[in-house]
Structure 1
Amino acid sequence: MHGPNSITWLLVALCAASGAYCVLRMRSGVEEQRRTAGSEALMGFGMAVMALPAAVVTPPRAAWAVYVAVFGAAALRALWAARSGAHHLHHLVGAFAMVYMAVAMAARPGEHAGHAGAGTPLVTGPLLLYFAGYVLWSGARLVPVTMAGGGPPVAGWGDRPELARACRLSMGIATVAMLLTM
């Protein structure tokens, strides 16, 4: 990724922290939450590695093929899971965005993410619009809603919906930042 090193390192830390929290969420007692958390952990850690500054590590071209394979498989899994819920469509779009960014980075190994003034490609624009909208929507969902009974008691870290939403919001923001460098 291009950009100031301090911002890039903050992006890496944000994605890695989101991935780590998603690993904690995998201990939930609810099977659907565990599956979703696993997909989100893969996305968080993948984004953290992809966002590493080019000065620190310039992966070989073959590494991007591994990215394409891993996130292509994640996209297929999300497509299959989308039969049961709309949130999996978001995972599908996220995995597609990761595949797209990996292909773009493989095509320009010296640039590591930039198009060097090529403008907004046809795929980057719609992905930016989608994730910007997702960030606004998920950010609005973090606004506390007063409940008459105070809401149900929360069992543990894996079952905290507000933390899961914050995690999704942070990964959405990171995706927008990464797409802006395309």
Structure 2
Amino acid sequence: MHGGTQAGWLLMALCAASGAYCLLRARTGTRQERRTARSEALMGFGMAAMAVPAAVLSPPAWAWAVYAALFGAAAVRALRPALRGGHHLHHLVGSLAMVYMAVAMAPAMTGGGGGGGHAGHGAAAGAGGMPLLTGALLVYYAFYVLGSAGRLLPVTAAAPGSRGRGTALGGHGTEGLRGGGAGGLPEIATACRLTMGIGMFAMLLTL
């Protein structure tokens, strides 16, 4: 992706760390939890690879076709579980968004000449995909990030009969606890999803 070199390295590091943690989560838990963790690990590592600053390392032209094929297969795999709703629908949206970005960025990488980073950035601006679709994805990820951040905020609730004792709920709920998986802290799992949501939003902004 195109943008500041420091920002690109930071985004790459955060996405790679999130993917590594999701990969660790994939070793434990139920079958569904392991599948969810593997999907999130794939997303994290894929985003990390796409976030490498183009001025430092320009991927070959065929790399974007590999990204599109890989996440297209992930989208097909997530299609059936997504019909049941829940977090699988988010995995489907994320996989399709990765395919969209790979297709949108491919002309920028193959059509750039010898103009270096600035020429590549200009090509990206001309091959930025469809503004309406990009805008819709930006809105989706903006709400997703806000929702994930809200689940991380500590909420003190005094239950009836608790005589004023506050319970730190951490903003989670049943879905957040399930998302942590066995052997993993739900707060860290939610933080990883928040990180990848912010990363996806930032990458969509570059289109």
Q: So what's the TM-score if we normalise by structure 2? A: 0.78
Report the Cα offset of residue 118 of structure 1.
Answer: 6.7
Show the counterpart of 1:115: 125
RMSD of Structure 2 on Structure 1 (CA): 2.4
Higher relative contact order (CA 8 A, sep 6+): 1
Equivalent residues of 1:78, 1:91 under 8 A apart: yes
Q: How does 1:96-175 map to 2 (within 5 A)?
A: 96-109=96-109, 110=112, 111=120, 114-116=124-126, 121-146=131-156, 158-175=183-200
Equivalent residues of 1:24, 1:158 under 8 A apart: no
Report the Cα offset of residue 177 of structure 1.
Answer: 0.5
Amino acid at match of 2:186: P
List per-residue Cα deviations over 1:35-70 (Å, max 9, x = no partner): 110000000000000010112221122111111110
SS for the counterpart of 2:2 is coil
List per-residue Cα deviations over 1:63-84 (Å, max 9, x = no partner): 1111111000111111111133
Q: Distance in 2 between matches of 1:78 and 1:84?
A: 10
Describe the shift of the 1:135–1:150 C-alpha distance in structure 2 as closer, same or farther (beyond 3 A): closer
Q: Does 1:93 align with 2:98?
A: no
Larger Rg: 1 or 2?
A: 2
Show the counterpart of 2:30: 30
Equivalent residues of 2:108, 2:127 under 8 A apart: no
Q: Out of 117-126 and 91-100, give the one that drifted further.
A: 117-126
Equivalent residues of 1:26, 1:158 under 8 A apart: no
Q: Distance in 2 between matches of 1:166 and 1:15?
A: 11
List per-residue Cα deviations over 1:74-131 (Å, max 9, x = no partner): 1111111113342111011100110000001112113268315979712111000000
Show the counterpart of 2:20: 20
Equivalent residues of 2:28, 2:183 under 8 A apart: yes
Q: Distance in 1 between matches of 2:108 and 2:187?
A: 38
Report the Cα offset of residue 2 of structure 1.
Answer: 2.1
2:202 to 174, 177, 180: 177
Q: So what's the TM-score if we normalise by structure 1? A: 0.88
Q: Distance in 1 between matches of 2:129 and 2:65?
A: 25
Identity over aligned pairs, percent: 64
Describe the shift of the 1:5–1:77 C-alpha distance in structure 2 as closer, same or farther (beyond 3 A): same
